Amino acid sequence: MQFNTENGSIDFECRQVVVAGWTGRDTHAVQHHIEELAAIGVAPPSKVPLFYRVSNSLLTAERNIEVLGTASSGEAEPLVIRHDGKLWLGLASDHTDRQLETISVAASKQICGKPCATSLWEFASLEGRLDAIIIKSWIRENGDWVLYQDGTIGQIKPLRDLIAAADLQNGSAMLCGTFAALGGVRAAEDFRATMTDPETGAEITLEYTARALPEVS
């Protein structure tokens, strides 16, 4: 997979994908996210945070993914990649099957592709201001783009702590968790997200469509 950076591009050979869950820095916010998922039938986690392994092939730069049925939606998350000993920061969506999530969170993560933006920022150059970086997402509802998430990386546990806890090795990518959905978690076909550095105005964008495959019994 090829990513663009400020100084060129890198060819990333993905050997491991980790999806970090329940990573909120504010314990009350984590509990709120647990409760909003419980409202749609998702069992609470055994501990927080949790690290789910999913297939390497799920990380994708494609702008169209295929999902089973119409009960899935995305979550905007920081993406950390370790390539040739160096850390990079990007933007991805932990697209999840909400119906399957009520049965198995791990299975709901594995069944859906994880779209990511093709731009990366050098992690070390941002480390002093990571908490201020803004992440927003939108879903299309009734033909209109509706704000779905609005927060900062500062609402997520320190990324260095997550990197250490996940033991992120070369060739690994980690989706680092998210924050609550405005109006509650719900299914959506079209998803858009941005990650903005308020100090420089630089922005990474992501947009994709999840095409529903028919459920045949």
| Average pLDDT for the chain | 94
pLDDT digits (tens, 9 = 90+) for 94-127: 999 999 988 998 999 999 999 999 999 999 999 9
Average pLDDT of span 139-160: 97
Assigned token pair, 101: 């999530």
63 CB-near residues (< 8 Å, 6+ apart): 115, 207, 208, 209
Q: State residue 40's pLDDT score.
A: 80
How many CA atoms, within 13 angstroms, populate the side-chain half-sphere of residue 111?
20
Instruction: Find out if CATH 3.40.50.300 is the number for domain 14-213.
Output: no
Q: State residue 157's pLDDT score.
A: 96
- pLDDT-wise least confident of 102-106, 117-121, 199-203, 208-212: 102-106
Share of the chain above pLDDT 70, in %: 100
- pLDDT-wise least confident of 44-48, 64-68, 207-211: 44-48
Q: State residue 139's pLDDT score.
A: 98
Average pLDDT of span 192-215: 96
Report how far residue 52's alpha carbon sits from residue 9's, in angstroms, rounded to the nearest whole number.
28
What are the residue boundaries of the structural domains of the chain, listed by start?
Answer: 14-213
Report how far residue 36's alpha carbon sits from residue 44's, in angstroms, rounded to the nearest whole number.
10
Q: State residue 173's pLDDT score.
A: 98
User: Is the Cβ–Cβ distance between 156 and 179 less than 8 Å?
Assistant: yes
pLDDT higher than threshold 90 for residue 77: yes
Q: What is the pTM of this model?
A: 0.93
Report how far residue 79's alpha carbon sits from residue 14's, in angstroms, rounded to the nearest whole number.
13
In the block, tokens 């550095």 appear at 197
Average pLDDT of span 172-185: 94
pLDDT digits (tens, 9 = 90+) for 12-59: 999 999 999 989 898 887 887 788 778 888 888 888 899 999 999 999
